[in-house]
Amino acid sequence: MSAVKKLEQLYEGKAKQVFATDDPKIVIVDYKDDATAFNGLKKGTIAGKGVVNNKVSNHFFRLLETEGIPTHYVEQLSERETAVRRVEILPVEVIVRNRAAGSFSKRMGVAEGTALACPILEYSYKNDELGDPFINSYYIRALNLASDEEMEQVKAYSFRINDILKAYLDGFGIELIDFKLEFGRFDGRVILADEISPDTCRFWDKSTGRKLDKDRFRRDLGDVEEAYREIIRRLMGE
C-alpha cells in the first residue's frame, strides 16, 4: 500500500490537506499545525498538533476496526500523512456528549462538567458558511442529506464508538466528555471518516479534571502543546 503515489491537492480545510493518488479509491490526508476555533474566527498554530492528531486518530481507527467499526483508515505513511479510503462525506456532523460542556452548557444552561443521565446524540449540518447549524432527523430527511437507513447506521456506530472509546480511555486516566464524528459513503456502505483527536474530542484528566484538548486553545488556558503531547504520551508511550 505504501507504494501509492501522491498527486495533486484536492482540498484544504482548517486542519488538513487532502491529495489525490494514483489509486482512485485512495487519498492522502496531511495533518497541519494550524488551529481554528469558533468557526474560524480565532486562528493560530499549535506546534506539533498535526503529528499528534495523525497518530492519535490512526491509533483510534485501528482500535475501532478491531471492534468491528469500519473506518476510512488504510495506512499511516509518515508522521503527518495517512492513506485513507476516498469517501463521499455525509454533510452531517455527529456530536456525542457524556457530560455537559462547551456549546451544550451555554445553550442549555447546564454547568460544565455536569454528568448526563444518558449520552446525548446531536447532529449539525456540515456547512462552515452557516456555522454548522444544529439539525435533527427531520431536517436530514427533508434536505436529503442522508437516507434513514444511513442515519440508523450512523446512530448505531456512534453509540458503539462512544462505549469503546470511553472504556479504552478510562484505562489511561482520561474521561471522554464529548466528541465529534463524521461518516462517509464508500462502496455502498457508511464508514467512519475524518479524525478522532484532541481537536475533535474533549479529554479531561480523570483525577484532576484538567483539559487535555483544543479547549486549551479556544479558552486561552495555556500549555496547549503540552496537553496534546500528554494524550499521545499516555495512549502510545511517545
Residue 123 covered by a domain: yes
The residue type at 187: D
Q: Which three cell numbers stand for residue 9?
A: 491537492
- pLDDT tens across 110-164, in order? 999 999 999 999 999 999 899 999 999 999 999 999 999 999 999 999 999 999 9
Residues 105 and 65 occupy one common structural domain: no
Determine, yes or no, domain membership for 1.
Answer: no
Task: Tell me which of 38 and 59 has the higher pLDDT.
Answer: 59
On whether the CB atoms of residues 33 and 121 are closer than 8 A, the answer is no
Q: Which of 34-48, 124-138, 186-200 has the lowest mean pLDDT?
A: 34-48
Do 78 and 181 lie in one domain? The reply is no
Per-residue pLDDT at 2:
60
Same domain for 68 and 162, yes or no, is no
CATH of the domain at 76: 3.30.200.20
Q: Is the pLDDT of residue 1 over 70?
A: no
Indicate if 12 and 69 belong to the same structural domain: yes
**What are the pLDDT digits (tens) for 46-75?**
989 999 999 999 999 999 999 999 999 999
Burial string for 25-47 (b: 16+ CB within 10 Å, else e) reads ebbbbbbbbbbbbeeeeeeeebe
Instruction: Report CA-CA distances (Å) from 233 to 1, 29, 122, 200, 212.
Output: 28, 23, 30, 18, 12
Helices (H), 83-221: 102-108, 137-142, 148-170, 215-218
Per-residue model confidence (pLDDT) at position 36: 85
Look at residue 55 in the predicted model and tell me its pLDDT.
98
pTM summary value: 0.94
d(C-alpha 88, C-alpha 93), whole Å: 13
- 101 in the same domain as 57: no
| The pLDDT value given to residue 42 | 79
Residue 126 belongs to domain spanning: 88-236
